[in-house]
Amino acid sequence: MSRDDAALEAFRQEIRAWLPEVCPASLRPDASGAAPTAEERKAWLDAFAQRGYTTPTWPKEYGGGGLSKHEVRVLNEEVTRFGVFPPGVSFFGTAMLGPVLLEFGNEAQKQEHLRKITSGEINWCQGYSEPGAGSDLAGLQTRAVRDGDHYIINGSKIWTTGANHADWMFCLVRTDPDAPKHDGISFILFDLRVPGVTISPIKLISGESDFCQVFFEDVRARAENLVGPLNGGWTIAKRLLQHERQMLSGGMPGGAPMAVPRKKGKKAEVPRPTSALAERAREYLGDSDGTLAEPVLRDRIAQYELDTLCFGLALKRSGEEAKAGHGAGAATSMFKLYASEANKRRAEIQMSVRGASGLGWEGEGFSANELMETRGWLRSKGNSIEGGTSEVQKNVIAKRVLGLPD
Amino acid sequence: MSLVLTEEQSLLKETAAEFVQEKAPVAHLRELRDRQDATGFSRSLWKEMAELGWSGILLPEEHGGSDLGLAELGVVLEECGRTLAPYPFLSTAVLGASAIALGGSAAQQQAILPGVCAGETLLALAFQEKPRFAPYDIATQAKATADGYALSGEKVFVLDGHVADHLIVAARTSGAAGDRAGLTLFLVDPAASGVGVTRTSMVDSRNAARIRLENVAVSSDRVLGEADAGADLLDAVIERGTVALSAELLGLIHEVFDRTVTYLKERQQFGVPIGSFQALKHRAADMFCEVELSHSIVLDALRAVDEERPHRERIVSAAKARCSDTAGLVTREGLQMHGGIGMTDEEEIGLFLKRAKAAELTLGDGTYHRDRFARLTGF
């Protein structure tokens, strides 16, 4: 065993001893009885946050875990082995704002904000799209005008996920209306719980309201929270979008699998491959000799599963190429595009499989799962719009990867 | 195993690329076609490839092979796919050599494999009888005789069957066409009495033959592997062939896509490069996704077979389905985007379209392999 391996093994043993010490009984895999309370969930979060494990790779000086990639892998493995989901912290802070603050923020900004992301104290939301600036994001019109130690913000943001539950917003604002559109944008952070902010949830076709429109009327933001250079926000905006797309493709079918806790005592063996989609289809369509009864739908499911398998391998290969020092690889630009289109395809197949059982909106006559899947089908239509439409992604691939002319 | 090429594999890729681009570019295939070459490839060039260790790339060193894996063979085949090099890799180095290496007795291996490694002996696997790939749909009969068997039947689409020194014939020792049980593989001398070999002229200018067997006497020591259990061997051989062909298709896919993107940048209409039109850009971006997916699954499938990974069969089917379909996509789109010039015999894109179709329909197309993939995934 090399010195590195020995240190990693010691880390593993330490984590293995630590998890049962801090995990509330109600969250444990062998828990029976009452569901965990809010206090217990908070205790679990605090245990992770105190060690910086909610943002494990961030430097310790900003509250992060200061872990190497190998240590993060071990941490994840041990959490999975213990059989508990890690505490959840909003990814707007951990996966999007945090990384750009580490790269572009000044010392004071890092000190003020990063710890509160790690601890889950502050929930962030993303002020990007506007009613008049969707795919043409750089056409945004929300104005920020300097007034002493503050900027005065006027305008509106739309499709702001979770703004009604958020404490702060990272926001793109126009600070120079006369400059070419990309050169007059700044990236600023401000508290949403101030006068002049109005947040209106938007009811979607799925009946849910996970997006909001946010209106600003003379909202005052502290000037010291402008990140990066004045009018230099576009570079930061793009970098943050890269983090966002990476994250969006990771959580989609075929993406990096979520750590699913395994029942204790179960031997690790190579399971026989199955398809959750096909198993669900079997309930509705039936089969003959193990083959789904509806051959055309079966072929659609097979194509979907096959493509998802290939997509997962493309993600794996891209990660390995990055690790081998070949750079992130051209393939990363397709992940968000492919994952969101695949997710829509999956939802369409589910609708075909379920027939009229997929048409229920609420109430009696449908299982909870059916109602949820129907809403999910509607919600999936947004996958290829949010975070950059599929058409914008294709423009990016054509330009940046294939080098096709404007 | 990682999906990134090792240093050795990268080096092999460079060597292979240089070799085929210099000695077997697309013009080489065209020349063979135009002079209606009796062999369909250059035997001396195949010997050169053998000297590089390619004809025996999967075979053990004791027979003169390189003892490498499919991951390495795949690297070579990818480069051959880029230039449409019509060499007997699939027939001899993969299907034929694997049948003998995996199923043959020590004596059979010793008699045949050194010649394969030297680039002198050519092999052909004669199993298919119907136009569409259906590996167990074999009616050819092998009737027991006093000192062996008598084979009767007809085989189609026998790759390189017109030049093979040994035919490996799948025939039925029991059961009925469609049964997996009851198959046996035989080594058959194409010069034996009752064997009729007819070369067929194929759309991709490659080589295949129809083979008629009429009461062909085959002695018992010419059985490959176990009588009646030939499907196990046939499956293993076809599995290797399927991933190898997927690797060739991957090379073709990359080449056609690269050429098409280049053309989009060069070809001017309305005073601008046609690649500036969004209608074409978006289709190119869609193709890029499929190319990346195809690349990833091929690398994994080659390694899965090398590692004898559990449940690798469905990875292999996924690779062949994905590559068959992607090759179809990029060749159809590539031709369309080349416009009128793409329809000419002079422009090479059409040669890629023809090869893509032939390779798609060899060893099972997308439909066949999606069905198999579904079965192996439990639906």
Q: What is the pLDDT of residues A114-160, one digit of tens each?
A: 999 999 999 999 999 999 999 899 999 999 999 999 999 999 999 99
A149 contacts chain B (CB < 8 A): no
pLDDT by residue (tens digit) across B215-262?
999 999 999 999 999 999 999 999 999 999 999 999 999 999 999 999
Q: In Å, how far is A77's CA from the nearest CA of chain B?
A: 20
Cβ-count burial of A180 within 10 angstroms (0-12 exposed, 13-18 middle, 19+ buried)? exposed
The DSSP-derived string for B245-292 is HHHHHHHHHHHHHHHHHHHHHH-EETTEEGGG-HHHHHHHHHHHHHHH
CATH fit for domain A3-88, picks 3.40.50, 3.90.1530, 1.10.540, 2.60.120: 1.10.540
Task: Dump pLDDT digits (tens) for B322-372.
Answer: 999 999 999 999 999 999 999 999 999 999 999 999 999 999 999 999 999
Q: Which CATH architecture has domain B7-121?
A: Orthogonal Bundle (1.10)
Write down the architecture of domain A276-401 according to CATH.
Up-down Bundle (1.20)
Q: Where in chain B is the domain with CATH 1.20.140.10?
A: 232-376
Among A150, A317, A178, A345, smallest CA distance to A253 is for A345
CB contact under 8 A, B375 and A404: no
Contact A405 B278 (CB under 8 A): no
- Tokens 């539950």 map to which residue? A165
The yes or no reply on domain A95-106+122-236 and CATH 2.40.110.10 is yes
Confidence of residue A83 (pLDDT cuts 50, 70, 90): confident
Q: Is A376 a residue whose pLDDT tops 80?
A: yes
User: pLDDT for B172-212, tens place per residue?
Assistant: 999 999 999 999 999 999 999 999 999 999 999 999 999 99
A382-396, B77-91, B154-168 — which is least confidently predicted? A382-396
Residue B90 structure tokens: 């699939």
| Window from A36-45, B55-64, B144-153, B246-255 with minimum mean pLDDT | A36-45
Identify the sign of the CA torsion B283, A300, A284, B374: negative
pLDDT tens sequence across B114-126:
999 999 999 999 9
Confirm whether A294 is a catalytic residue: no
CA distance A137 to chain B (A): 19
B2/A309 touch (CB, cutoff 8 Å), yes or no: no
pLDDT at B27 over 50: yes
**Of the candidates A64, A63, A65, A82, the residue with the CA atom closest to the CA atom of residue A23:** A82
Task: Tell me the C-alpha distance between B255 and A144, whole Å.
Answer: 51
To the nearest whole Å, the CA of B74 is away from the closest chain A CA by 17
CB contact under 8 A, A291 and B374: yes
- Of A313 and B1, which is predicted with more confidence? A313
Q: How many CB pairs under 8 A join A and B?
A: 145
With vertex at residue B19, the alpha carbon angle to CA B16 and CA B21, rounded to the nearest 5 degrees, is 105
Give me the residue spans of the domains in chain A.
Answer: 3-88, 95-106+122-236, 276-401
**What are the start and end residues of each CATH 2.40.110.10 domain in chain B?**
124-228
* Contacts of residue A103, Cβ cutoff 8 Å, sequence gap at least 6: A239
Using CA of residue A254, residue A259, residue A264, residue A270, what is the dihedral sign?
positive
Residue A25's pLDDT is what?
A: 86
Higher pLDDT, A188 or A73: A188
Question: Does B266 contact A at CB distance below 8 Å?
Answer: no
Which residues on chain B are in Cβ contact (under 8 Å) with A405? Answer: 265, 272-273, 275-276
Q: Compute the distance between CA of residue B60 and CA of residue B45 in angstroms, rounded to an integer.
A: 22
Q: Per the CB < 8 Å rule, is B379 touching A291?
A: yes
Predicted TM-score (pTM) of this structure: 0.88
Q: Pairing between strand B166-172 and B123-126?
A: parallel
Least confident of A88-97, A340-349, B98-107, B319-328: A88-97
> In which band, very low, low, confident or very high, does the pLDDT at A268 lie, cut at 50, 70 and 90?
low
> Which pLDDT value is given to residue A319?
85
A304 interfaces chain B, CB cutoff of 8 Å: no
Which of A71, A78, A130, A244 is labelled catalytic?
A244
Q: What percent of chain B has pLDDT over 70?
A: 100
Q: Can you give the C-alpha Rg of chain B in angstroms?
A: 21
CATH-assigned architecture of domain B124-228: Beta Barrel (2.40)
Which of B256, B274, B293, B329 is the mutation pick for testing A, counting most A CBs within 10 A?
Answer: B293
Instruction: Find the range with the poorest average confidence among A34-43, A260-269, A343-352.
Output: A260-269
B275 interface with A at CB cutoff 8 Å: yes
Q: Span B125-146, mean pLDDT?
A: 97
pLDDT in tens, B2-14: 899 999 999 999 9
Superfamily of domain B232-376 in the CATH hierarchy: Butyryl-CoA Dehydrogenase, subunit A, domain 3 (1.20.140.10)
A256 pLDDT more than 60: no
Q: How far is B185 from chain A (nearest CA, A)?
A: 30
Residues of chain B with Cβ-Cβ distance to A270 below 8 Å are 310-311
Instruction: Judge whether B379 and A298 are in contact, CB under 8 Å.
Output: yes
| Strand positions, DSSP E, chain B | 123-126, 141-145, 148-159, 166-172, 183-188, 195-201, 207-219, 223-224, 268-269, 272-273
Instruction: Report the residue from B2, B3, B264 with minimal CB separation from A404.
Output: B264
